[in-house]
Each structure stands twice: as C-alpha cells, then as structure tokens.
C-alpha cells in the first residue's frame, strides 16, 4: 500500500500551475463569455442564459448533435473490433509483430490537416490511384451524403486504427503462453479464450481507447471540414463545425456559450466513464 503523504503535492505543483494557466483560466473565461453579448472586447453586455436557451432550442443544434453521436458510434463500432482483430493478428506473427505495429502507427504521425488532403488526392478522379475505379461506381463525395460519410469513416479509421492496435497489443502481449495452453487443453473455444483470457487483459487499454476515440470523433473538426465543409447540404455538419462557423463569424458570445455546452457534454461523458471503470477496481 502506498504511504499517505500530502507533501507529494509539491511534486505536482509545476504540473498543476501549468494546467491552471493554459486550461482552467481559459475555461473560466469561455464560461464567462457565454453569458455575455460581445460586440468587441471593450463592448460587452450581460445577457444571462439567452445564448444557452437559443442554442438548446434550435433544431439545427439537435440535428448536429445527432450526427456527431452517430458518427462517434459508427467510428467506435468499426475501429475497436477491427483494432482488436489486427492486434490479435499481429500477436500471431511473432517477432515480425513490431513491423506491423510500426506500420499501424504510421498514420498517427501525419499532420491532421494533411490527412484529408492525402485522401482527396487518392480518390481524385483524374490523378488518384483509386479515382478511376471510384468513378466507375459513381462514387461522389461532394454531392452524395452517404458517400461523404463513408469517406469520413474510412479516413478516420485509417487515421486512428493504430492507436487501438497499439493499446490492444500492449494488453494482449502480457498474456503468458501457459494460459493459452491451458485453455487449449481444456478444449476452450476461440470465443471463450477471447472472452475469459484476452478481454480482461485489454479491458484497461480499451477503456482509454473508447474514451479518447469517442471524444475525438465526437468533436471531429480539421478532417471533416476539409473534406466537404459540412456538406452536402448539412449532411456532415457536426457539432464542432457549427462552433467553428460561429468563431469565424465573430459571434463570440454565442460561440462561447456553445463551447461551454460542448465542454459540459465532454465532462458528463468523462464522469460516466470514470464511474464505470472505477467499480471493478474497488472490488479488486
């Protein structure tokens, strides 16, 4: 058991000070702006909860919220099982696995604004490697909502699969071979091995994957904006794209209120996540 010592705070002090300066103070400023009508930084009026009630009552906000939730759900449903499958595949490759891991990590180091550029180049109907075939099946990401969604999901999966693979592999590689041998002798099915031996080992890593992937896809901005700027129509207008429009339109009070709402949503998700993951720890 670790000793109880409040002087440990001294070691946390630099981290705490930095996070307060670049995180907590700006956050308080955002919340404060949300209650004001801001014409310029010197011309600010208190308007209470007007922005919040405006936003929460607007149909567009609810529609964007629905789209963002759907996008996150689809991204998680594709990336988590696929990532686990790839990690299991790599695990069976012995010492070649490290090459597979490096390959999967490659998209993680591509600057975010270049990812849509790479994909748009790839599917360009005149110059792209895939352009020819996609033109044959009448793939049109500009004007067909379904195709825009498919492109965004494929691109997001390409980008983030590596994170799921690395963290799942990290858990799987700690399983002693004796466990698998024992399961094999007992005649356990592949599914049973996954459920009772592999899943418990990767649960910790998967928890953080779920949280990071949920929040990042829920607030996807750079990539989604570059592909189609929310179009066709409003089909890929996600929450963050709405916020970006308001900031670019200098509607700072409303943007701040919206940012506050998003922060509250993220906070609720984090709290729910912590409550769910803490319970098994308490039993152990």
Partner 1 sequence: MIRALALVALAAFILLPLTQAVMLSFIATLPHDGVPEGSVSLVNYANVLAAPELRAAIGNSVIYVLLNVALCIAIALPAAYALARYRFLGDRHFLLMILVFRVTPPVVLSLPIFILFAKLGLVNSPVGIALVHCLFNLPVAIWILESFIRAVPSEFDETAFLDGHSGASFFFRHLIPAIAPGIGVAAFFCFIFSWVEVVFARILTVTEGKPITTAINAMFGFQTDMGMVMAMTCLSLLPGVAMIWFVRNHIARGFALRA
Residues 200-229 that bind partner 1 (CB under 8 A): 204-205, 207-208, 211-212, 215-216, 219, 221-222
Residue 36, SS3 per DSSP: strand
- Measured CA to CA, the distance from residue 105 to residue 220 in angstroms comes to 20
The single residue among 126, 278, 282, 284 that binds partner 1, judged by CB under 8 A, is: 278
Q: Which residue has the tokens 């992937």?
A: 213
117 sits near partner 1 (criterion: CB under 8 A)? yes
- For partner 1, what does the binding mask look like between residues 41 and 80, x meaning CB under 8 A? x---------------------------------------
HEC assignment per residue over 6-23: HHHHHHHHHHHHHHHHHH
Contact 152, 145 (CB under 8 A): no
Give 182 or 268: the residue with its C-beta nearer to partner 1.
268
CA distances from 117 to 57, 108, 109, 114, 281 (A): 36, 15, 15, 5, 43
The single residue among 70, 73, 77, 89 that binds partner 1, judged by CB under 8 A, is: 89
Contact 140, 147 (CB under 8 A): yes
- Residue 252 CB, nearest approach to partner 1 (Å): 6
253 sits near partner 1 (criterion: CB under 8 A)? no
- Total residues contacting partner 1 by CB under 8 A comes to 92
Q: Which residue has the tokens 């004796």?
A: 178
Q: Considering only 63-71, 73-81, 137-145, 161-169, which stretch makes contact with partner 1 by CB under 8 A?
A: 161-169
- Residue 174 CB, nearest approach to partner 1 (Å): 10
Give 26 or 182: the residue with its C-beta nearer to partner 1.
26
5 sits near partner 1 (criterion: CB under 8 A)? yes
Positions in 232-251 near partner 1 (CB under 8 A): 240, 243-244, 247
- Measured CA to CA, the distance from residue 179 to residue 78 in angstroms comes to 29
The single residue among 110, 146, 229, 272 that binds partner 1, judged by CB under 8 A, is: 110
End-to-end CA distance of the chain: 14
């Amino acid at each position: 058991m670790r000793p109880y010592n409040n002087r440990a705070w001294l070691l946390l002090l630099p981290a705490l000070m930095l996070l307060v300066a670049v995180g907590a103070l700006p956050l308080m400023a955002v919340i404060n702006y949300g209650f004001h009508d801001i014409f310029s930084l010197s011309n600010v009026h208190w308007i209470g909860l007007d922005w919040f009630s405006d936003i929460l009552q607007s149909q567009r906000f609810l529609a964007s919220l629905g789209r963002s939730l759907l996008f996150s759900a689809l991204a998680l449903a594709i990336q988590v099982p696929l990532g686990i499958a790839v990690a299991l595949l790599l695990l069976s490759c012995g010492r070649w696995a490290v090459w597979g891991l490096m390959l999967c990590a490659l998209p993680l180091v591509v600057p975010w604004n270049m990812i849509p550029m790479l994909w748009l180049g790839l599917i360009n109907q005149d110059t792209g490697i895939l352009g020819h075939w996609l033109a044959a099946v009448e793939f049109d990401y500009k004007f067909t909502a379904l195709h825009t969604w498919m492109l965004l999901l494929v691109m997001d999966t390409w980008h983030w699969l590596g994170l799921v693979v690395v963290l799942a592999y990290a858990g799987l590689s700690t399983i002693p071979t004796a466990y698998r041998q024992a399961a094999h002798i007992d005649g356990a099915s592949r599914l049973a091995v996954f459920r009772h031996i592999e899943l418990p080992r990767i649960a910790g890593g998967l928890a953080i994957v779920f949280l990071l992937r949920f929040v990042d896809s829920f607030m996807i901005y750079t990539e989604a904006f570059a592909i189609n700027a929310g179009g066709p129509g409003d089909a890929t207008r996600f929450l963050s794209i709405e916020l970006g429009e308001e900031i670019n339109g200098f509607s700072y009070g409303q943007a701040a209120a919206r940012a506050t709402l998003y922060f509250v949503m993220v906070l609720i998700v984090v709290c729910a996540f912590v409550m769910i993951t803490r319970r098994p720890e308490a039993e152990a």
